[in-house]
Amino acid sequence: MMRSHRVHIPIISNADVLFHVGDTSITMQEGEMREINNRREHAVENQGAIDRVHLILDYVIPGEKVRDTKGNVIC
């Protein structure tokens, strides 16, 4: 959804899980909460020996204007 915000809360993770959002890469700790900009190109790598489990919450702010990378309102 173009207008949603996405929050990740790792429940089970490991040090070898790497999130890429745009040109930024991060490792999240279990229990840490992060908003991931799912409007940008994003991916995740799990090079660890255990699966990852994340609680993912999407929310929308009523009336929020969403802009593209050039600043144009898209919705």
pLDDT digits (tens, 9 = 90+) for 45-63: 999 999 999 999 988 888 8
pLDDT for 64? 78
pLDDT category of residue 75 using cuts at 50, 70 and 90: low
Residue in 49, 50, 51, 15 with CA at minimum distance from that of residue 32: 15
| Three-state DSSP state, 45 | strand
Provide the residue ranges of all domains of the chain, joining segments of one domain with +: 5-59
pLDDT for 2? 62
pLDDT digits (tens, 9 = 90+) for 3-29: 678 899 999 999 999 999 989 999 999
